[in-house]
Structures are given as structure tokens and as C-alpha cells.
Structure 1
């Protein structure tokens, strides 16, 4: 299963790079949009492979759990990952200066809160997928999914504490 997760991640970034290349180098904006629209199909393919593997009798492993996390994260953070890649592509290959500012104070805290909200979204999507897979496949072979879900819940809690720390101890401007 881990090979499918790696393949999905590689395919995701190949599609993103192809989209950026076609947008900025080839000036094919409509083609670039088609590439970006392929990213959810990669996620759906990974979900299908996970379900098929478990339905064919495989006992759930950490890799199956990671595939569910990958999908939740990809959906929740997909737009920001594409925006990050877009900014880096323009900076590295088109030699455009970065327009990104270093955030401090309340602006940084609000940004971190928005990122935590994305994490909550990813966790919610992943939780629905965990529940759906366990319901569809049967709970006898999916104990590893429950363990992964609990660890992810703990990570979400830690992320919330870190997020709150930016409100309590705002990041100061460095000279």
C-alpha cells in the first residue's frame, strides 16, 4: 500500500509542475487548469486502491491509515499547496521576486488559526473516510485505522496548542 501512497504523491507533484509549466512557460492557461483539476482524481484513485485492498482481505496497516490522512490533507491543503508551488515556480524559474511577507503579531496568529482550521478540515474529511472504510470493509480488519485516527487526533490537539501560542506569545518583528 505504501507504494501507492508514494505514487499518488509523486503523481500529485508531477501534475502540479505540469500545470505550472503549461501556465507560465507555454502560456496554456486552460490546459494548466485541467492539470490542476487532476489532483482530486489522484486522491480518488488512492481511496479506491485503499478500499479495494482492504476488501480483498488485507488487514489494515499504518499505510492504509496514511492513505486516508494523505487524502484529507490533500483536499484541505490542496489550494495552499498549489499556491505555494506557484509562488516558488515563479521565484525559481521565472526569477520573479517573492511577494510573500513575513507575518508577525496578530497577522501571524490569524494565519496560524486559518492553517489550524485547514487541519480540522483535513481531520474531518479523514475521519469521514476512516468511518466509511471501516463501515464498508468491516471493523474486524481495521484496528490499525483506529490507532492512526487516535494519533492524528493527538496531533490535531498539539497543533491547536501551538496555534494558540501565537495569540498568547505573538511573533515579534525582527530587525
Structure 2
């Protein structure tokens, strides 16, 4: 079912954006805020569907494949960044359809940029933790280490991405801001 699981992952991603779009459309374009709220609250159900499909596949004798690791990553990222994605889309819909203020843009520089980068990176750490929990769950469900070896590689990839992100953004902007402050004090 590894290939079918990829289809389920893609369907869940599409489903997330469809439910999100329907919720925002109901809230702003149709002016039905309660219906919009109900639809927006339903977005995590997409994650439940993916988790159930992944567990079902492994429980029915399937061997873990990269698609199972991708499902774990999807779930981790969805939990950690889902609220931010909802807020991002909501700001744009409110601005476009309800005369709301322009969407908030991330800060370009300074201490605010540093805080932003660290906050985003810690969301990634949460995504990694949730991915790890899903990998542990899937490993427990299968209870045969040979059948779940590929899942451990998922955490290696996530850790590498996290290390690159850490150095490339939070650390980079922290050092840049510290240098800017030091240069300002020297004048």
C-alpha cells in the first residue's frame, strides 16, 4: 500500500486546503461565520484520516516504506504549522473579502526578525517531536523492528533539515543582529 499511501497523503493535503478554503469562503464571502468556524475546526480531521490509513496499512502486514515516513512528517508539520497556516490564510481572506487590515508580514530585520526566526524554528522542533511520536506509534503498532527500519531514517532526515534551518536562519539572524548592535555601540 506504499504507493496508495502516497495518494492518501496527497489527497489529505488537497483535503486540508479544500476544507480550509471552504471554511474561509463561508466565513467571509458567504458571510456565514458559524459555518466557517465549523469547517475550520474540521481541518484536523484530515490528519486523523491520514494517521488511520497509515496505521491500518502497517497493521495489515505492510512493511514500512518511505511513504509511511512521509506520512509521519506530514502529521508533524501539520500539527506544528497548521495553526500558522490557518492564520496566514485567514488574514488574506479577511483582507480580500471583509475589508480587514492588510496581512501581517514577517519582520525584515532587527530583534523582531530574530524572534520570528527562533519562533518558526521552534515550531519545526515541535514538528520533529510529533513526527518522532508518530514514528514510535507506528513502530509499536508493527512491533517488528525489521519492518520499520525505514521509519528511523525519517527522523534522521528531519534532524538534518532542522540543523540546516537552525544555522541558516535563527543563528544567522541572531549573529547578524548581534553584529549590528555591536557596530552601533562602537560609533
Q: Scaled by the length of structure 1, what TM-score is found?
A: 0.90
Q: Are 1:55 and 2:59 an aligned pair?
A: yes
Q: What is the RMSD computed on CA atoms of the aligned residues?
A: 1.9
Identify which of 169, 175, 178 aligns with 1:168.
175
Kindly report which structure 2 residues correspond to 1:96-107, keeping only aligned pairs within 5 A, or say none.
98-103=102-107, 104-107=109-112
| Structure 1 position 61, deviation (Å) | 1.3
Deviating more after overlay: 13-22 vs 137-146: 137-146
Larger Rg, first or second structure (1 or 2): 2
Distance 1:147 1:101 in 2: 35
Distance 1:52 1:11 in 2: 20
Q: Relative CO higher for 1 or 2, CA cutoff 8 Å, sep ≥ 6?
A: 1
Q: Between Structure 1 and Structure 2, which shows a larger proportion of helix residues?
A: 2
Per the alignment, residue 125 of structure 1 pairs with 130
Paired residues in the alignment total: 172
Per the alignment, residue 75 of structure 1 pairs with 79
Deviating more after overlay: 88-97 vs 70-79: 88-97
| Structure 1 position 64, deviation (Å) | 0.8
Extract unaligned runs of 5+ from structure 1: none
Identify which of 146, 150, 169 aligns with 2:152.
146
Extract unaligned runs of 5+ from structure 2: 181-187
User: What secondary structure sits across from 2:30 in the alignment?
Assistant: coil
Identify which of 2, 7, 19 aligns with 1:3.
7
